[in-house]
Structure 1
Amino acid sequence: MSFEFDYDLLCELTEARGVPGYEDEVREIVRREFADRADRVRTDAMGNVVATVEGDSDYSVAVAAHMDEIGFMVRHVTDEGFVQVDPLGGFDARVLRAQRVTVHGEEDLTGVIGSVPPHTLTDEQREEDDEVSDVYIDVGRDAEAVEELVGVGDLITPDQTTTRMGDRITGKALDDRICLFATLEAAARIEDPDVTIHFAATVQEEVGLRGARALGVDIDPDLAIALDVTVANDVPQIGDAADAVTELGEGTAIKLKDSSVITSPKVHGRLTDVAETEGIDHQHEVLPAGGTDTAGFQNTAGAKPVGAISIPTRYLHTVTETADGDDVAATIDLLTAFLESENGDHDYTL
């Protein structure tokens, strides 16, 4: 396909560095892009960005996607100059071996996560489970140089570019920059909405939905819609089709539940109706494990109707996360159509 959206902006967002609590680089891009797409843009004390498009009524909708990506913080530098880490977000330690990273010390340093060659592994080492606490990063310098350049608290991010793979997109931090991108694209399309829309780029989602919880109190919307990636386990390693959750290329995903939220039936029902009316490819998502910013808005400032739109993504929480271009386009289309048709009169109460 020829992507009918700003692929260069998507690459800029996904390749930017921004671990939980330190989303500065992403925040700068978001503020720049929202400046011409919203009536006002502000940042709160935690670093959440809220871009408000004024509507014709006081009824307000929050649309949230998170800026942070999983990464690490330096917890120790050994006497030999190897860097040990504390995780910022949920890592599967199995995928960390032999990865390249950037250590953000006194200067940005390329590092590699070491892996002992199979030739020299003992039987005991072969049977051990990988743990993040066992990760050692080699920055290619002697101990004295590392001591001068790296200290406890420095940040570490995966080192990966974003690229096309046929009609698909692969790279790091598609979780959740690809959804952040979708909110920017929707904001650019919407003109003169009936309701006020707060486009929120949130912080610290990967460590407990912390930014969204604070924001739910701050802007106190009448309705909240969160966007995040979801599992697409449509790969050979997953034998049971029921465990795939979603499939790439089958459209945007309308969330029914995950481990943090059961979305409001009337909200996901209307999302489905809009998708069907507009002819937007869609699928329903029942995610057994994992949470999103949706939950951060549901009851933080009292009971609120909430919904969620997801982009199916393979290989989540790795540096090769993969999404389908048509699914991204469908997500932008659904979010735009839903917001343009929201007038504040829909009854989402039960």
Structure 2
Amino acid sequence: MDADYDLLTELTEAHGAPGHEDRIREVVRRELADVADEIRTDAMGNVVATIEGATNPDYEVAVAAHMDEIGFMVKHVTDEGFLRLDALGGWDPRVLRAQRVTVHAAEGDLDGVIGSPPPHTMSEEERESKDEVEDCYVDLGRDGDEVRERVSVGDVVTMEQDTRRLGDTVTGKSMDDRVCLFAVLEAAKRIDPDVTVHVAATVQEEVGLRGATALGVDLDPDLAVALDVTVANDIPQFSDASKHVTELGEGAAIKLKDGSVITNPKVRKRLESLAETAGIAHQPEVLPAGGTDTAGFQNTHGAKPVAAISVPLRYMHTVTEAAHVNDVDATVELLAAFLDSETGEHDYRL
């Protein structure tokens, strides 16, 4: 991996549920302090680091990746001290049983585990029942009085997981979207743009693209590019290659569409041309469902040309997601090349 693996590890192991991205915000501000001409944070918590353009500063490009990860909020504390949860983002409940979590209480983090009954004590009906997030509970290993003293309704909960290299992949929690946030930070350190670039780390993407939608109004850029992960179903359960969407190790994915946006064809073609000229591995992405911050910029403050670069990801929205190191490097290279070559003179009108 060409880029800073230690930074990627720090980002992915940090905790930041939607609306509670404080720890990620600190890393973003630190990493961009020597790069940006100005760094500011808005009322929602979006971070915007502005790099002034050298020759055409009036033309503005927004580049966004979101800071938040899927998590939970405590909605009830039982008399016995178990925590009931409300989902923040789209979880697959099947993967949650017996997983370690961190409860972010006012006086400090607490370790916990999502309970799971032993299978040999379950009835046939219980074994066949469908898992739901509302059925999950967190066991803190403490009695009810102590838990109620330390945990409040509204405290957030995130998964507890480390980041590891497995061959050519990087695995861990919150690769969605910290791997793309990492790519944005790395690209920002490499560019000397002609136009003004707003590097945006957004909030609350996992609960409806909320940060990017607000930011689209506040920034009103001439061009926007969002980075997010995308599906890589190149695994044994999907023998039909048409359902893979992308393949790990085949390069950065240039989005044509997802469930929230159809990208601007002219911007997309420029990305493809840059990748081919520079020899950067890339692949097309047609994602049937799901949305990204790209949509938050497309028409929030009038029509805008938008594009999206994606990092292929296996096991998305689970406890352990996996990205290929070459795809991450390709994403950094492609984004940096795109920003450095933007003059503000391309006509993206259709």
Instruction: State the TM bucket, normalised to the shorter chain.
Output: over 0.9
Letter of the 1:227 counterpart = L
Tell me, yes or no, if structure 1 residue 43 matches structure 2 residue 41: yes
Letter of the 1:262 counterpart = I
User: For the residues of structure 2 that align with 1:104 and 1:51, how far apart are their CA atoms?
Assistant: 28
Letter of the 1:28 counterpart = E
Q: CA RMSD in A?
A: 0.7
Tell me, yes or no, if structure 1 residue 222 matches structure 2 residue 222: yes
More divergent stretch after superposition (275-284 vs 101-110): 101-110
User: For the residues of structure 2 that align with 1:130 and 1:338, how far apart are their CA atoms?
Assistant: 44
Aligned to 2:30: 32
Letter of the 1:99 counterpart = Q
Tell me, yes or no, if structure 1 residue 282 matches structure 2 residue 278: no
Counting only pairs closer than 5 Å after superposition, residues 139-158 of structure 1 correspond to structure 2 as: 139-158=140-159
Letter of the 2:132 counterpart = E
Tell me, yes or no, if structure 1 residue 344 matches structure 2 residue 344: yes
Aligned to 1:195: 195
Residue 80 of structure 1: CA displacement? 1.1
Residue 323 of structure 1: CA displacement? 0.3
User: For the residues of structure 2 that align with 1:276 and 1:18, how far apart are their CA atoms?
Assistant: 36
User: Cα deviations across residues 72-128 of structure 1 (Å, max 9, x unaligned)?
Assistant: 000001111110000111101011011000111233111111111111111221221
User: Cα deviations across residues 262-303 of structure 1 (Å, max 9, x unaligned)?
Assistant: 001111111101101111000000001110000000000000
User: For the residues of structure 1 that align with 2:84 and 2:334, how far apart are their CA atoms?
Assistant: 43
Residue 318 of structure 1: CA displacement? 1.2
Residue 39 of structure 1: CA displacement? 1.0
User: For the residues of structure 1 that align with 2:228 and 2:98, how far apart are their CA atoms?
Assistant: 28
Letter of the 1:339 counterpart = L
Runs of 4+ with >2 A deviation: none
Tell me, yes or no, if structure 1 residue 20 matches structure 2 residue 23: no
Aligned to 2:117: 116
TM-score, normalized by length of structure 2?
Answer: 0.98
TM-score, normalized by length of structure 1?
Answer: 0.98
Aligned to 1:328: 328
- Secondary structure in 2 matching 1:59: strand
User: For the residues of structure 2 that align with 1:308 and 1:35, how far apart are their CA atoms?
Assistant: 25
- Secondary structure in 2 matching 1:111: strand
Letter of the 1:169 counterpart = V
User: Cα deviations across residues 233-254 of structure 1 (Å, max 9, x unaligned)?
Assistant: 0000112110000000000000
Residue 166 of structure 1: CA displacement? 1.1
Residue 207 of structure 1: CA displacement? 0.3
Residue 4 of structure 1: CA displacement? 1.2
Question: Where does structure 2 lack aligned partners over 5 or more consecutive residues?
Answer: none
User: For the residues of structure 2 that align with 1:16 and 1:78, how far apart are their CA atoms?
Assistant: 28
Tell me, yes or no, if structure 1 residue 294 matches structure 2 residue 294: yes
Residue 35 of structure 1: CA displacement? 0.5
- Paired residues, what number? 347
Question: Where does structure 1 lack aligned partners over 5 or more consecutive residues?
Answer: none
User: For the residues of structure 1 that align with 2:23 and 2:222, how far apart are their CA atoms?
Assistant: 30
Aligned to 2:262: 262
Counting only pairs closer than 5 Å after superposition, residues 27-106 of structure 1 correspond to structure 2 as: 27-55=25-53, 56-57=55-56, 58-105=58-105, 106=107
User: For the residues of structure 1 that align with 2:34 and 2:170, how far apart are their CA atoms?
Assistant: 27
Residue 151 of structure 1: CA displacement? 1.1
More divergent stretch after superposition (245-254 vs 98-107): 98-107
User: For the residues of structure 2 that align with 1:107 and 1:210, how far apart are their CA atoms?
Assistant: 27
Residue 40 of structure 1: CA displacement? 0.9
User: For the residues of structure 2 that align with 1:147 and 1:217, how far apart are their CA atoms?
Assistant: 41
Residue 259 of structure 1: CA displacement? 0.2
Letter of the 2:46 counterpart = N
Letter of the 2:47 counterpart = V
Letter of the 1:107 counterpart = G
- Secondary structure in 2 matching 1:80: coil
Residue 320 of structure 1: CA displacement? 0.9
